[in-house]
Structure 1
Amino acid sequence: MSLSNVFSIAGSAMNAQSVRLNTTASNLANAESISSSSGETYRARKPVFEVRPLENAESFLTPGVEAGAGVQVAGVLESQASLRQEYSPSHPLADENGFIYYPNVNVVEEMADMISASRSFQINAEIMNTAKQMLQRTLSLGQ
């Protein structure tokens, strides 16, 4: 694997973490939105990542170990956890039984996800910077 592949791999990780940050921001923005029915209520979303396969796996790899060339977002899934239901008959959005519905967003969990995604993005940016420095030093060897 050459150093130039590092940029592609780290870039794919940065892209995946950007998707993760965007879904976390969406979850946090809708954490306190209220609805009058469970069908209309916002549900927390989570991105699903998968290995982006390497086209030509090198022969030095251990047999049975799949080489990866980064990560890709396979999709964004809605959480199936139960919604938070509150009895509030005087609320203008209350249903016929007097209930309002809140999303199944756990703010503490989302904040931890945000910190993790942000840190992962920073680490991959640092990997790209280190690879760039190594390439520059390699080029300066001939001078």
Structure 2
Amino acid sequence: MIDPLQASSKLAGAGLEAQSLRLRIVSENIANAQSTGQTEGSDPYARKTITFRSELDRALGGTTVRVKEVGVDQAPFQVEYDPGNPAADEKGYVKMPNVNMLIEMADMREANRTYEANLQMMKQARSMISSMIDMLRGA
């Protein structure tokens, strides 16, 4: 059986891993917010999404988080008039990525705060382990 301090560290580690991947996905979306297709009428970058699932870990005695899937947002692409763009159709319109910067910034902020919360949990568990070792040395 895993002790509670080790379990809390493993649960926080799963949260850190999930939020780290979420931050990478958000960063990719932001980096490609203006990436159009390469040829006439081609589709631009499509926003990526991430879905999590909670999972009971019997060995740890708690619920942990896992990445369920990384998908593609099915929202329609925006269209802008830019006849000089190589990706413009015969009428001069270019499909733009379906990335909304406000949503991406909100997702980034939430993921960052959740990451920090899990990191604090890891620090607290480490501090408690260190205190327990110090107490055992004194005994």
**Pair 1:89 & 2:91 matched:** no
Matching residue of 2:55: 52
- 3-state SS in 1 of match to 2:36: coil
Q: 2:93 aligns with which of 82, 91, 99?
A: 99
Matching residue of 1:10: 12
Q: How many Å apart are 1:77 and its aligned residue? A: 1.3
Unaligned runs of 5+ in 2: none
Q: For 1:113-132, list aligned pairs within 5 A.
A: 113-132=107-126
Q: Distance in 2 between matches of 1:6 and 1:117?
A: 19
Q: How many Å apart are 1:131 and its aligned residue? A: 0.7
**Over aligned residues, Cα RMSD in angstroms?**
1.8
TM-score, normalised relative to structure 2 = 0.86
Q: 1:32 aligns with which of 27, 34, 42?
A: 34
Q: Distance in 1 between matches of 2:114 and 2:135?
A: 32
Structure 1: 4+ residue segments shifted above 6 A: none
Q: Distance in 2 between matches of 1:47 and 1:72?
A: 11
- 3-state SS in 2 of match to 1:141: helix
User: Is the contact between residue 41 and residue 95 of structure 2 (CA under 8 Å) also seen in structure 1?
Assistant: yes
**Pair 1:137 & 2:139 matched:** no
Question: Normalized per residue, which structure has more helix?
Answer: 2
Q: Distance in 2 between matches of 1:57 and 1:27?
A: 34
TM-score, normalised relative to structure 1 = 0.84
Q: How many Å apart are 1:56 and its aligned residue? A: 4.9
User: Is the contact between residue 8 and residue 122 of structure 2 (CA under 8 Å) also seen in structure 1?
Assistant: yes
Number of residues paired by the alignment? 133
Worse overlay, 2-11 or 88-97: 88-97
Q: 1:71 aligns with which of 46, 65, 68?
A: 65
Q: Residue type of the partner of 1:87?
A: Y
Q: How many Å apart are 1:140 and its aligned residue? A: 2.1
